[in-house]
Amino acid sequence: MTPRDMLRLCQCDSRCDSNERRGASFVRGMISNRLIRRRTERIRTWIRPTPPPLKPLWSGLWIWLLSENATSLATTLASLDVSSNSLKKTKTMMLPLLRSQLLSHPLYDSVRTVHNLRLFMREHVFAVWDFMSLLKRLQQLVTCTQVPWLPPTDPEASRFINEIVLGEECDDDGRGGHASHLELYMQSMQEVGADTKPIHLFLSRLAQQIPVEQAITEAAILPSTRDFVRSTLRTVSLGRPHEIAAEFFYGREDVIPDMFARLVEALPSQGVRVERLVHYLKRHIELDTNEHGPLARKLVDNLCDQQPQRLAEADAAAAHALKMRASLWDGILSEIQIPSFVSWSHGLAHPIPLNHRKTQGTNFAGTDVFRWSIENIHARLAVAES
């Protein structure tokens, strides 16, 4: 069969007879299989051993891209028999890259207005809450919180985590008293005028012994925020000590000072008071940079104990935490960028539910969002005319 015949068969349509259609299906399958084989051979060539220093670069990048998610990285590395030296170099490349992407996220420059800051705080407060869940789980694992009390198996790790708990759960509130960082953040939300109803309702449901999954499902927050909290709680419930410590350090204590420094720079100057928020952000920057960050790093090192398997699992957990934080930022940024007539629906009689909103650039004509907005606009005009 000539190339011209193959092209004609691939382009045949319903007007061709059944034999031609069967031939076209066969040729398409043959071409598809050939492309798959070429792609597979190309990938195999790329991850074959190459002279240093290319080996850790290519193997690390392609292992990451071929993995379905960050948590499968350790398994993939083990199956390809990557040396511990390559593993260490892979970690060196991946985590700084994810961290850099997170710190360059456009969200920080989008909170320069009061409206956007309020929206950001409404969602971010849930990350402040689940931070404490990570911390308290670590305290359960490395210290003794039960009665009768027993000496901790690792006194150094116990001291590290207790010092962090002291600073996070009952810190100086800037007014001569003490408060948890969640309470400081909620005070700053009230000062700015952010919506505190979702977090208050969530906490009240937990106080009523409602399961956390049900409480987070009922919360009126963005899907990305809900997924972020669920991911943290999954790590808290199922993660090993070194994985939880890695997510706590790389996903929180290590990156928070730089993230919050970006936020301090972007705070709006439009007459709204941000005194409590600035105190919260600067206090976190100070503690995490000088005290909590170094302590959390020591905790990760102690729990990993230089074991290659633990180091690989800790790196995978850290990468997953950074990716989930980026997804949280993506969700908030998408909400900020919603067209004005959709955001305006908050003040309407029937505001648009969060799960039905679309991001900027979507064709709204013919969608429920479009119909709801037009109906509410007509309702507003009718009230104004009457």
What is the mean pLDDT for each group of 10 consecutive residues in the chain (386 residues)?
52 54 58 54 47 43 43 44 46 80 90 89 94 92 91 87 87 81 90 93 95 94 96 94 92 87 76 80 80 85 91 94 95 82 42 44 43 49 49
pLDDT of residue 105: 93
Res 247: pLDDT: 94
Predicted confidence at residue 317, as pLDDT, reads 94
Determine the angle formed by the axes of helices 308-336 and 223-238, rounding to 10 degrees: 160
What local confidence, expressed as pLDDT, does residue 263 receive? 84
Q: Which helix (H) or strand (E) holds 178?
A: strand 178-179
Of 238, 236, 269, 272, which Cα lies nearest the Cα of 252? 236
Q: Full-prediction pTM beyond 0.85?
A: no
Decide the pairing of beta strands 178-179 and 171-172.
Answer: antiparallel
Q: Check residue 112 and give its pLDDT.
A: 84
Give me 104's structure tokens.
Answer: 């360059």
What CA–CA distance (Å, rounded) separates 65 from 63? 6
Cα 85 to Cα 386: distance, rounded to the nearest angstrom: 76
Residue 5 Cα distances to 17, 24, 27, 28, 30, angstroms: 15, 10, 10, 13, 14
Would you state the pLDDT for residue 18? 58
User: Which is nearest to 244 in space by CA: 163, 161, 169, 180?
Assistant: 161
Check residue 153 and give its pLDDT. 87
Tell me the Cα Rg of the chain.
Answer: 26
